[in-house]
Amino acid sequence: MAFDSKLSDYELERDKLFEEIRKRAEVAELARIEAEELRLNLPDLNPVPAPTELPPLSQPASHIFALEPEPEKPARELKTAREIEERIESANRYYQNEQYVKALDVLDEILESRPDHTVARALRAEVERAKALSDRMLADELRSREGDQAKSLIEMPMPELSSPRTRDIGREDVLQEVPTPVASESETPQPMSRNDWKLRLRRAALGVLALFGVITGFVLYRNFYELFPGEATTVLILPARSVTLDRTQIEGLTIELIQQLSHIQALRVFAPTTALGLTHPGISSARTLDAKYMLEWSAEKSDAQSTFSYKLVDVATSRSVLENSNTVSHAEFSSFSREIVRKSREFFSVNSNSPESDLSSHNVQHEAYDLYLRSLSLLKSPNANLDSARACLLKSIALDPEFSSAEVALGLTSILQCERSSTNSQNLIEDANRHLLRALNLGNKSAAAFQLWGNVEYHRGNFPAAIQRLEQSKALASGDAETNSRLALAYLRATRSEDAIAAAAEGAKSDPLNSAARELLGMLYLLENKNTAALEEFEQKPKPSSDAYSNPYVTTLVEANRHERALDILKTYVMNNPGDFIALYDLGRVLQLAGKPKTDWQVTFRLASRIIDDTLKATPRSARALVYRGLVLTRLGEFEAGTKAVRKALEVSPTDEVVLMNSARVFALQRNGTDEAFTHLGKASHRHFSLPALLDLDFAALRSDQRFQKVLSR
């Protein structure tokens, strides 16, 4: 590289020397010619006598010699916005075709008529910049060519110039001997320089890029809705109208239809809790929920046949867009939901070859189907009677052994029983797994089957596998609220908090009247210390029919410094339930944290202590009463007595998850009890994971500890 630099410097010095020699030769030649003309002093060969008097001018001199400019034509006023827009488009075309002068003329005309036109002013500035750039590039090109031509002229052999004699001046043969420096048009053009190649390549590259951009923009425009699909269409399914069917059958039919329609990816069907929880089901409820379509339907049974009809209504126009009715035998009654799914898929133009259309075509024995519908209604009720649901499902499978959906529902029943209590939990999980395998062997690959699979893996502690199966369930029924809530908990246990919040939010969106879905989202926000967002979710949660209060909601109110609202909720409950020592403890705790007078919370704790003593007199070995005695005594500052009560409770019930959790709360309130608190907390969560229990106010100081995250993921 150093040698190349020296070589280029040498060439530059040589070019400068040649240029100086050429200039000096030209100056010397011009000086010689001028001296020769002065020496000869040639006279004027054609003298013209000057006139003594000029005739008068027929026209004013200023007009003849154009000394004064012609008056400018007034600028044509552009009146209409359409005319201005057309002129701007014309200027833009000139600009795109690199006719900058014409573009500037058109824009100047617009600005003379409308000086405040921002579009024209901005376009003129852009054209001026482009013109300046073009002029600069042209000047560089001309300069490069002139340098190349001068270099070639210097390298040409200079002819010998002979001095013409006096008698030869004006002769043609002498003039032909004088060489001219300008090359004739017939000569071979000079080769392009490096700058010429760079300029042409740059322009070609810009042209290719511009063409590529135009093609890409066109493709994106044509495929915009395919590349960026909009939000799924929302559908509200109303409970069936029926005279011959009872409530459990109607609810079961509604749940079954929602589950089937949820397999259509283009739809987001509101969950059963919302559909069955409407006070006044109808078009007004659909508009309140912001549903785009509403499905009204009815079903009747007679001795020999069944009749069903349905109507899909556009909520915005209140007009029916799809309706049909059909009469079938009892054996074909279970096919009515598949009929609605098939017609809905055709209406929404869903590809029938997609995985979402892979639904079971098995016609279930009608008595088995009735029992299955009753079990669905029982399982979706707030306080589900799981034993009755299990009995219905076992009878249904006995009547129709190939009824795979009943196998899935029976597995879900075992999961719900496992979640209610840790007693016999491993046997219940294995029972759920057996029913899952039977359903899979029968060819059931529905969203409910994959959801059950995810629940089994979750309760086995295999959270990555649980996430995989629940995501498969979501892929088949993306709007299913239950799947999203289960997936949110699996994400939380796998320490993926952001994904957990997103899944819980989607579940709450599909099931806005489900208080459990709202509460789950609020608790996840509370875990991330997003108290404002958590409070919004708890406030939007449907109010319970009873005066029961939510412990996570009270925790959120306290952490958001809304103590008075928390106290109002607890006082109302205690007033209606004066013998509840747990509510009295919660009330005294909030009074203490709110900074109320000491006598107020002491009186509340003493009252709770007296009720606990009465309970222990009746049942001396009540471990749960003993551990709450430890909590009350600890809040009163009697730490040794509180610890003694907890030790006794652990002796009575060393494996009870509630006793273990409350024992951890006692040690969490003591100054040096953090290690023992995490020991009991880990044991309790291992036996039965409860997110509301982990978010108790007594654990507020432990949430920032790394060991708390380990408890969540254990």
The larger pLDDT score, comparing residue 714 to residue 287, is at 287
**Any domain includes 396:** no
**281 and 198 both lie in a single domain:** no
**248 and 137 both lie in a single domain:** no
| pLDDT single digits (tens) 13-47 | 767 766 777 777 777 777 777 776 666 554 444 44
Provide the domain limits for residue 102: 81-155
Share of the chain above pLDDT 90, in %: 34
The larger pLDDT score, comparing residue 330 to residue 323, is at 323
Pairwise CA distance, residues 206 & 215, whole Å: 14
Please give the pLDDT value at position 597. Answer: 94
Cα separations in angstroms, 241 against 115, 304, 312: 69, 20, 15
| pLDDT single digits (tens) 653-712 | 998 999 999 999 999 999 889 999 999 999 998 888 889 999 999 999 898 899 998 898
The answer to whether 556 touches 696, Cβ cutoff 8 Å, is no
HEC profile of 564-624: HHHHHHHHHHHHHCCCCHHHHHHHHHHHHHCCCCHHHHHHHHHHHHHHHHHHHHHCCCCHH
**108 and 134 both lie in a single domain:** yes
The answer to whether 642 touches 626, Cβ cutoff 8 Å, is no
**Any domain includes 493:** no
Pairwise CA distance, residues 559 & 533, whole Å: 12
pTM of this structure: 0.65
DSSP secondary structure letters along 237-258: EPPPB-SSS-HHHHHHHHHHHH
The answer to whether 403 touches 397, Cβ cutoff 8 Å, is yes
Please give the pLDDT value at position 209. Answer: 73
Burial label, 499 (beta-carbon count in 10 A; 0-12, 13-18, 19+): middle
Decide if pLDDT at 518 tops 80.
yes
The answer to whether 658 touches 423, Cβ cutoff 8 Å, is no
**299 and 200 both lie in a single domain:** no
**Any domain includes 344:** yes
Q: Is 310 helix (H, G, I), strand (E, B) or coil?
A: strand
Mean pLDDT of 334-345: 78
**266 and 354 both lie in a single domain:** yes
Mean pLDDT of 187-211: 64
Residue where a domain terminates, one of 140, 155, 170: 155
Q: How confident is the model at residue 193 (pLDDT cuts 50, 70, 90)?
A: low
Please give the pLDDT value at position 494. Answer: 92
Pairwise CA distance, residues 644 & 687, whole Å: 24
Pairwise CA distance, residues 124 & 327, whole Å: 73
Pairwise CA distance, residues 626 & 616, whole Å: 8
Question: Domain holding 258: CATH number?
Answer: 3.40.50.10610
Q: How confident is the model at residue 218 (pLDDT cuts 50, 70, 90)?
A: low
Please give the pLDDT value at position 31. Answer: 75
**Any domain includes 501:** no
Rg of the chain taking only CA atoms, in angstroms:
46
Cα separations in angstroms, 244 against 10, 299, 337: 107, 8, 18
**Any domain includes 648:** no
The answer to whether 703 touches 668, Cβ cutoff 8 Å, is no
Q: How confident is the model at residue 52 (pLDDT cuts 50, 70, 90)?
A: very low
The larger pLDDT score, comparing residue 358 to residue 38, is at 38
Q: Is 316 helix (H, G, I), strand (E, B) or coil?
A: coil
Mean pLDDT of 348-375: 66
DSSP 705: S
The two tokens of residue 671 are 């100054």
Sign of CA dihedral 36, 41, 46, 48: positive
Decide if pLDDT at 143 tops 80.
no
**320 and 353 both lie in a single domain:** yes
Q: Give the mean pLDDT of the chain.
A: 79
Q: How confident is the model at residue 172 (pLDDT cuts 50, 70, 90)?
A: very low
Please give the pLDDT value at position 671. Answer: 86
Q: Which of 218, 272, 197, 223 is nearest to 483 (CA)?
A: 272
**219 and 262 both lie in a single domain:** no
Residue where a domain terminates, one of 303, 326, 359: 359
Mean pLDDT of 347-362: 52
Please give the pLDDT value at position 43. Answer: 47
**Up-side HSE of residue 322: CA atoms within 13 Å toward CB?**
15
Average the pLDDT over each of 191-200, 516-525, 542-551, 583-592 and give the range with the smallest value: 191-200
Please give the pLDDT value at position 272. Answer: 84
Please give the pLDDT value at position 210. Answer: 74
CB atoms within 10 A of CB 622: 17
**Any domain includes 114:** yes
Q: How confident is the model at residue 211 (pLDDT cuts 50, 70, 90)?
A: confident
| pLDDT single digits (tens) 57-110 | 444 444 433 444 444 444 445 456 778 877 887 887 787 777 888 888 888 888
Decide if pLDDT at 217 tops 80.
no
- Provide the number of structural domains found in the chain: 3
**Up-side HSE of residue 435: CA atoms within 13 Å toward CB?**
28
**299 and 339 both lie in a single domain:** yes
The two tokens of residue 385 are 């009677």
**Any domain includes 498:** no
Please give the pLDDT value at position 231. Answer: 63
Pairwise CA distance, residues 295 & 283, whole Å: 10
Residue where a domain terminates, one of 304, 336, 359: 359
| pLDDT single digits (tens) 465-503 | 999 999 999 988 877 788 999 999 999 999 999 999 999
Burial label, 155 (beta-carbon count in 10 A; 0-12, 13-18, 19+): exposed
Q: Is 548 helix (H, G, I), strand (E, B) or coil?
A: coil
The answer to whether 275 touches 254, Cβ cutoff 8 Å, is yes
CA 698-700-701 angle, to 5 degrees, is 105
**208 and 290 both lie in a single domain:** no
CB atoms within 10 A of CB 550: 19
Decide if pLDDT at 51 tops 80.
no
Mean pLDDT of 570-589: 93
**282 and 309 both lie in a single domain:** yes
Mean pLDDT of 314-334: 83
Please give the pLDDT value at position 127. Answer: 80
The larger pLDDT score, comparing residue 659 to residue 194, is at 659
Mean pLDDT of 414-437: 87
Sign of CA dihedral 325, 326, 331, 335: negative
Decide if pLDDT at 609 tops 70.
yes
Please give the pLDDT value at position 167. Answer: 43
Please give the pLDDT value at position 362. Answer: 60
The answer to whether 235 touches 267, Cβ cutoff 8 Å, is yes
Share of the chain above pLDDT 70, in %: 77
Decide if pLDDT at 351 tops 80.
no
| pLDDT single digits (tens) 106-133 | 888 888 887 877 778 878 887 887 788 7
Mean pLDDT of 400-415: 93
**Any domain includes 263:** yes
**327 and 286 both lie in a single domain:** yes
Pairwise CA distance, residues 394 & 330, whole Å: 21
Q: How confident is the model at residue 191 (pLDDT cuts 50, 70, 90)?
A: low
Please give the pLDDT value at position 249. Answer: 81
Please give the pLDDT value at position 174. Answer: 40
